[in-house]
Amino acid sequence: MKDTLFLRPEEEMDFIPIIPLNENDSDNGQETAIPSTLPLLPLRNTVLFPGVVLPITVGRDKSIKAVNDAYKADKLVGVVAQKDSDVEDPTISDLEDIGTIARIVKLIKMPDGGTTV
């Protein structure tokens, strides 16, 4: 019998695993008050959905400042996808109309100066 290699989907493509967040684990059942203003984190080629834990690498100076400020405060940040990932300094018109309010679970400073949240 000939040995056959079966590839699983994750071996065939690059992707980041999406881990659903157990709603009972966060905030111990308490509702979080949403502030009237939030730091905004534009994402290139990524959409963050509510209730999902997703590692995000942040490299732009403004974005690093936004996640650092949010992490020091209430850990909440507004996350919005960019319409065009080639835009380096997006304005409000470069962002999608709908985003997600996210909680920063962990902040890791990388050796290259970037940050992963």
Q: What is the pLDDT of residues 6-65, one digit of tens each?
A: 455 545 545 555 555 555 544 555 677 888 888 899 999 888 888 888 888 888 889 888
Distance between alpha carbon 65 and the CA centroid of its chain, in Å? 15
User: Which pLDDT score is estimated for 80?
Assistant: 94
Annotation: CATH topology of 37-116 = 2.30.130
Nearest CA to 109 out of 53, 67, 76 is that of 67
Q: What is the pTM of this model?
A: 0.67
* Cβ(34)–Cβ(101) below 8 Å: yes
Alpha carbon distance 108, 102 (integer Å): 16
Residue labelled with tokens 């994402």: 43
Other residues' Cβ atoms within 10 Å of the Cβ of residue 53: 16
